[in-house]
Structure 1
Amino acid sequence: MTKYATVGPRKAALALAALAVAGLVAGCGSSTPATSARPATSASAFPVTVGGVTLSQRPTHIVSLTPTGTEMLFAIGAGSQVAAVDDQSNYPAGVPKTNLSGYQPDAEAIAAKSPDLVVISEDINDIKQQLTKLKVPVYVMPAAATLNDSYTELTDLGRLTDHQSQAANAVTQMKDGIASLVKDVPKRTKPLTYYYELDQTYYSATSKTFIGSLFSMVGLTNIADPADTDGKAGGYPQLSAESIVKANPDLIFLADTKCCQQSASTVAARPGWSGLSAVRDGRVVALDDDIASRWGPRVVNLVKDITDAVEKVPAS
């Protein structure tokens, strides 16, 4: 979910739980970006056409208007080619952050950065067409619906930036890291239940979303699933406090610690919540909003947060 991901609620931040699931994870739980060192450019790699955009040569002035895209570019070693990023991109440290907006993209402001490639998550206000008219190539990488989508986007960016091998390594590290974490989760006769909070008005994400699929991989049961059986909420239903209390989840995951200052103590202070087993037994997990809303290499960190929480719950 990067702060522009595809959620409807929590307006843009949830609504795009994407642009809302990152430097490269060099192994389980690590968040060290890949080095920018790279071999000499291979002239034979260009021209290249990926995702409907054609580049005649290796880009050197990339503008990223999606935090996930920014994290992916730096993760595959293309950071030195990134000239500017949007106002929500904040990882890794030292990215060339500007006041450019992915929510309200301004073609003239973007063009003023003299980009030879622009990376976006949402084609808001027909920004792709506007930039194309200005002869600026645009690659659109929508919020991933599956992990395979994330792997594809990393691979695409690797081809567009001439970092194919680094992108392949990033994908391999994600796959291996996630597989290792999931493999080590102890099997239970009765699956644990969980509530995933997008904001303090009880918007959540079902198992059919990108974020929900990560919890399903670990064998958890989502209490939000019954609230969107017809899919009308797009996988992001708003629950009620009463329904959450009634479900009494074994674990509560907060993805609103930065945006909304939620914590184990604020959850415990909610009427009727202090008696929930997750609150009583210290199983309220504070997540990093950014990592939880972006779909790049740091997804491995998120899966580790989930598996760590599960492993702390005694087997019944």
Structure 2
Amino acid sequence: MPHRFLVLVVGVLAALALALAGAAAENAAPGSFPVTITADNGKVTIAKRPRRIVSLSPTATETLFAIGAGRQVIAVDDQSDYPKSAPRTTLSGFTPNVEAIAAYRPDLVVIAFDPKGLSGALAKLGIPVVLHDAPRAFRGAYQQIRQLGIVTGRVAAAERVIARMKTRVGALVKKTKNRAAGLTVYHELSPDYYTVTSKTFVGKVFALLGLENIADAADGSGSGYPQLSAEYIVARSPDLIVLADSVCCGQKPSTVAARPGWNRIEAVRTGSIVRIDDSLASRWGPRLVDFFRAMATAIGRLSP
């Protein structure tokens, strides 16, 4: 075999081996390190199983504890209020202090936002960062759980959590979808009528359960988070109102009923107003099942 041809063949085989290794990085044997995942901040390699994790993402905090990695977590941000045993601190995921984070000597930091180049600043200090933005679909949420399982050495536990979630969500949808036919919903993010459409993660929950979202027809910008007018909401008269501003803004059925003209809305007349914990309606981790269950229960009360 000519020398040049042999070199070419060896080079091709080496390139193929590298490609296969990269493709298999996320499917490494459970608990084996190093591992590489592709997060929202690009490829992230974790050299060894982390023992000092800092989570600046409430959703990631819930997931880490759900997959059995809680003992590896040494600090969480000021918004991570679940589970109660999480080591909550004054760290902020919105206005992060790089020095304060680094002071915990983390070997992994998980974030949901990357303000002011946080991930880059931590990378310069040799601290690996996994960025998990809010997904727009359930598949993305499951993938994030899977990736946290990979980087913490909890692959099997993460897969069990995902399997349970899919099974329970599927059962709730099967039980509820026919009952929701023809029913409309308004999901309130704030008392000034910001809401979500079916393009968003929360909106997809309503769509999967079979509800019609009144905001879909009013999202002229296509942002997924339009601000409606009181007149529009009253005119559409949704069958179900979901208050995701009960904790932050003190909204409840009585405050909604007291709004001018809202006594004409079907949901107000029938008392079909659901207060949902703000955090439950804004996170995409394992407690997603609880959100589905709360909505399925509300639909069950509406339908004959």
Q: Residues of 2 paired with 1:225 and 1:44: CA distance?
A: 44
| 1:78 and 2:65 are equivalent in the alignment | no
Matched positions, count: 272
Select the residue among 274, 294, 309 that pairs with 2:283: 294
Partner in structure 2 of residue 133 of structure 1: 124
Q: Residues of 1 paired with 2:221 and 2:113: CA distance?
A: 25
Q: Report the CA distance between 1:202 and its aligned residue.
A: 0.2
One-letter identity of the residue aligned with 2:124: K
State which drifts further: 47-56 or 71-80.
47-56
Select the residue among 257, 260, 271 that pairs with 2:249: 260
Distance 1:43 1:296, change over 3 A: closer
Query: What's the secondary structure of 2:106's corresponding residue?
Result: coil
Select the residue among 66, 86, 89 that pairs with 1:95: 86
Query: What's the secondary structure of 2:248's corresponding residue?
Result: coil
Task: Flag structure 2 segments of 5+ consecutive residues without an equivalent.
Answer: 1-28
Partner in structure 2 of residue 280 of structure 1: 269
Cα deviation 1:224-248 (Å, max 9, x = unaligned): 01111441xx100000000000000
| 1:312 and 2:291 are equivalent in the alignment | no
Q: Percent identity?
A: 50
Cα deviation 1:175-217 (Å, max 9, x = unaligned): 0010000111152595100110000000000011000000000
Task: State the TM-score, normalizing by the size of structure 1.
Answer: 0.84
Q: Normalized per residue, which structure has more helix? A: 2
Task: Flag structure 1 segments of 5+ consecutive residues without an equivalent.
Answer: 1-41
Partner in structure 2 of residue 249 of structure 1: 238
Q: Residues of 2 paired with 1:214 and 1:43: CA distance?
A: 31
Relative contact order (C-alpha < 8 Å, sep 6+): which is higher? 1
Query: What's the secondary structure of 2:165's corresponding residue?
Result: helix
Q: Report the CA distance between 1:122 and its aligned residue.
A: 1.1
Partner in structure 2 of residue 45 of structure 1: 32
| 1:182 and 2:169 are equivalent in the alignment | no
Query: What's the secondary structure of 2:264's corresponding residue?
Result: coil
Q: Report the CA distance between 1:314 and its aligned residue.
A: 3.1
Partner in structure 1 of residue 103 of structure 2: 112
C-alpha contact 1:186 1:311 (8 A) present in aligned 2: no
Query: What's the secondary structure of 2:285's corresponding residue?
Result: coil
RMSD between superposed Cα atoms in Å: 1.4
Distance 1:91 1:189, change over 3 A: closer
Select the residue among 145, 148, 162 that pairs with 1:154: 145
Query: Which structure 1 residue ranges, 4+ long, deviate > 2 Å from structure 2?
Result: none
Q: Residues of 2 paired with 1:63 and 1:230: CA distance?
A: 36
| 1:54 and 2:41 are equivalent in the alignment | no
Task: State the TM-score, normalizing by the size of structure 2.
Answer: 0.87
Query: What's the secondary structure of 2:241's corresponding residue?
Result: strand
Cα deviation 1:46-86 (Å, max 9, x = unaligned): 01111211111100000000100100100100000001000
Partner in structure 1 of residue 58 of structure 2: 67
